[in-house]
Structure 1
Amino acid sequence: MRSKSIAVIVVAAGKGERMGTDGNAVPKQYRALAGIPVLVRTIKAFLAHPQVTQVLPVINSDHADRYEALGLSDRRLLPPVHGGASRQASVLEGLKALAPSRPDLVLIQDAARPFVSADLIGDVIEILQSYDGALPGLPLTDTVKRSLDGKEVVATEDRRQLSAAQTPQGFRFGQILSAHMRAGSVRRDFTDDAEIAEWAGLRVAMVTGDPNNIKLTHPEDFVRGEQILMGGRSMETRIGTGYDVHSFEPGDAVWLGGVRIPHSARLNGHSDADVALHALTDALLGAIGEGDIGVHFPPSDMQWKGAASTIFLRHAADLIARQGGRIVNCDVTIVAEAPRIATHAPAMCAVIAETLGISASRVAVKATTNEKLGFIGREEGIVAMASASVEVPRID
C-alpha cells in the first residue's frame, strides 16, 4: 500500500500589526528569533519531518522580496502563493494551489508558531486515520468567565470542557477544500480551519498540545521564545567595542550606517567603506571573541570589492546566533565635520535593526564633530566608534 502524501500549508500572509509600534518595521514572520527568521524556523520544522511530502508557504503579496531573501531551498518546498485579505481567504488560496497535486492529507500551520515539534506533527497525522480533522489543544487551567460587555460577569464556563486550540490542524484534503469553498460563500469570519470543518459537519478530534508551541503575537512573546530556545541555559552579557576610520577621495556620496548620503567626496575603502557599519561589525565580533572584520573579510579578497557592508554586519549576527546568543543593543557614534549626519540617523537605525533582526529601539546612532581639530576637522575623513552588548550561553 502506498504511503500517504501529506502537504503542509504555512500561513504567512499577515502583516504582524499586533507586534506593536516599537520602531520595528519587520513583519513578525520575518523577524529574527535568536538570529533566524521565524518563518524559516517554522518551514524547516516541517521539512525535517519524514512524513511531510510538500510544504507550501502562503505569503503577503507585499512580502515577495522578503521571502526570497530568506534563501530557502528544498525539493519539497513549493513556490509561495499570495494570500487573501483574511486568514480564511489565505488558507483557501493555499488549498486551491495544492488541488492539482491532490495530496491525501493537509496540515495547516500558522507561520508564527515556530516551535512545533516533530512529535506534535506526528500525533496530528496519526489521529487522521480515524477522524476527518485533528488539532492540538491545551486544557485551560484558569477559571473562565463570560462577559457580554467586557465588565460585568454573566456566567462561569466549565473549563473541563474547554481547550485552547493550536496548529498544525490536519484534514483529509478533499474534505477541507470542499468545506472551505462552501464556507467562503457563507461566512468570512471563521477563526480557524477546525471551526470550518465543524461547521461543515466533519468529525474533528483533539490531540494533546504542547505548552511550548506558542504563537508569536506580541513583543513579549519573542522574549518567551528566546527563553524556549535557550532551554533553561543561563546567559551572560558580553560587551564589544569597535573603531574605524576612512579617508575621503573624489566622489559624490558616502555610505554611512547602510544609508547613501550625497556629499562632495566619498570614503576610500575596499568595500563600500561604510565606516559606521565596520565599527559596529567589529564591536559584535569582539563581543563573542571572533576577531575583527579583516579576519572574516580580508581586503585582499577581490570578492569584497565594493561590497555592501550590511553583508559584514549580517555575518556577525549569524555568528552570534550560531552560539545561541542574542544582540541586546548597539550604539554607534560617527565623528565628522561633513556631511551632516543627524537627519539620517533614524534611517541608519532602521537599516541596522533590519540587518541584525532586532528592534530599532535597540539601536542608537549619534553624530558629532571634532570641533575643526585634526584630520577630521580638516575634512580629510570620518571616524566611527561603536559598542555592542550581546547575551550568550554561559560557559563555566
Structure 2
Amino acid sequence: MINSGDTAFIIICAALVCLMTPGLAFFYGGLVSRKNVLTIMMQSFVSMGVVTVIWFVFGFSLAFGPDIHGLIGGTKYLFLEGVGMTPNPSYGPTIPFITFFSYQQMFAIITPALITGAFADRVSFKSYLVFLVAWSILIYIPLAHWVWGGGFLQQMGVIDFAGGIVVHASAGLAALASVFFVGKRKVIDQVDLEPHNITYVALGTALLWFGWFGFNAGGGLAANGLASTSFINTDISASVAMVTWLIISWVREKKPSFVGVLTGAVAGLATITPAAGFVKPWAAVLIGLASSIVCYGAVQFRKKVDWDDALDVWGVHGVGGILGSILVGVFAEKSINGIDGLIYGDVHQFGVQVLATLIASVYAFVVTYLILKVINRFLPVRVSEEVEIIGLDAAIHKEEAYHI
C-alpha cells in the first residue's frame, strides 16, 4: 500500500540527489583553470540529459529487471513498461515504482560525472559523450544490478546503503584507469594547475552536502527512523572529516586551506555513504576520522607518484568509497538495520564486503581502460597539445566563462 509520507520523502530525496550534479559542476568548475571551466561543467550537466534517456529506454530495466544468472536484469521494464504508480515489493513497498525509478535515475546520472574530474583539461567532448554512454551501459548498470537489483553480489550478502561500491568505488577506479590511459596534462603555466575560483568550490560543496542528505537518507526508501539515522550519520561523518582534514593539512602544509576543508568534507560524505543506514552515530565519527586520514594519505601518495588525477577523484571518491564499503562490514549493527559487522562477531559479513568491493573495483578499472582504448581507435580521446594550451572552452565550445 502506498504511503503518502514515504512517497513525498523519496520524491524530495530524488530532487536533492538531482541537485548534486549541478553542485558537482560548480565544485569541479572552481577547481580547474579559467580556460576549462565551461568544459568540465558541461560534462556534468550533459550527463543529466544523456543518462536520463539511457535509463528510460533500457538502463533501469537492465539494472532492476528480473535477474538473469546474477549478472544483469531482464527487459521487462523497457521504456518504463510496467513501471507505474503501483509499488514493487522488492523496491519500496510503500512508494510507487516510478518514484523508485526517479530516485535511482539520479544516482545513475551523477556517477559517470564524478569521473570527469580525473581527466580535466585534456579529453575531447565528442569522446566524452561516447565514453559516458559506454560507461553507463557496461559498468554502472551491471554494478547497480549486482549490488541492488538482485545480482550475484547481493545474493552473496553484500550491503551498500547508498552507493559506496556502485557509485564512489566504481567512479574512483574508473578515474584512475582514465588517468593512466589519457596521460598527464601538458602544463605551460603553473596557474593552470591552481583552482581558478575557490568560491565556486565552496558553492559546489554546499550543494553536494545538502544533496547528500537525500542521497543517503533516502536509501531506506521510507520516511522513518532509519532515514533519520542515515541523515545524522551523513552530517557527522562529513563534519568530523572536515575538521580532521583541516588539522592534518594545517600541520603539514602550515596553512588552514579552504580547499582542504571542502575536500575533507566531501571525503567524509563519500566514505559514510555505504554505511549510513547500518551504523550508529558513534561509528560515523570513526568513519569520518578514518576517511580524512586515509583519503588525505591517498592524495599525498598520488602526488608523490605523479599521477595526474586533476581533481583527486580516485583519492577522495575512490578510496573513500572503498574504505566505507569495508568499514560497514566492521561497524554495522543489527539494531540499526538487521546486520552485524566484524566488531559484533560477524566475520563473514566483513569478508563479503572486502570481496565484493574488490570485485567491483577491479571490474570498473579494467572495463574503463578497455572502453577508452576502443574509443581511441575510432575517435581520439585526448585533445591536441594546441587545444590543451588554448583551453577546451575556446577551442572546442567556442565559449568562454570570462572575457578579460
Length-normalised TM-score, structure 1: 0.22
Q: Which structure would you say has the larger RCO, counting Cα contacts within 8 Å and 6 or more residues apart?
A: 2
Question: Which structure shows the higher helix fraction?
Answer: 2
Length-normalised TM-score, structure 2: 0.22
Question: Which structure shows the higher strand fraction?
Answer: 1
Higher gyration radius (CA): 1
